Amino acid sequence: MSKARVYRSVQDARQIAKYNSAGAYRPLKGAPNLPTGWLLELASIDDLLRALDYFYPGAIGTWLAYQRGTAQPVCLRQTLNRQTGMYRVTRRLTDDQAQNLVREACRSDCRCLRTILWGIEENQPPDFLPSSKSDPAFDQTRQKRAALPFLCLEACNILVAAAKTALKKSSR
């Protein structure tokens, strides 16, 4: 077993989070593909919070807002309805297409570790997903350990792009 490489700078966290173990860019920071074999030793809690923000942008702030009851999930329809230009077409996504897309694109086992709090329509829970995917108490890594949830309040740009691709494929 090889020894873990030790890092001691908040900026190191930024570099670690940027690429997977194969050296490919990680556009989705919630993807379960962080490289392994490293240890981050930081001098203060403030440094730790900044480092966590590089690994999981907004995770701490969103979790704190959720704890206060002030987190505001944005349904998929709202996200798609404000798209313009080449993504405007995503407004035509049907509920069935949207549910299938989210089920596939947001899978915790291989796509995204975020816990989804938004539904397709406003004030509708994401009941088309396994209940664990929208349960902040559930560890999306499935390692059965205490963990802060990485909450998802709104569909990301990667999901919006996937919606455009799905619509393009369905119109062929």
Residues 90 and 161 in one domain: yes
Residue 155 sits in the same domain as residue 89: yes
Cβ(118)–Cβ(126) below 8 Å: yes
Domain assignment of residue 138, yes or no: yes
89 within domain boundaries: yes
pLDDT tens track for 125-168:
899 999 999 999 999 988 888 888 899 999 999 999 999 999 99
Domain CATH number, residue 152: 3.30.70
Please count the structural domains in the chain.
2
Domain around 28: 5-57
| Residues 24 and 107 placed together within one structural domain of the fold | no
Instruction: Kindly tell me if the per-residue pLDDT of 172 is higher than 80.
Output: no
- Which tens digits make up the pLDDT trace of 54-104? 999 999 999 999 999 999 999 999 999 999 999 999 999 999 999 999 999
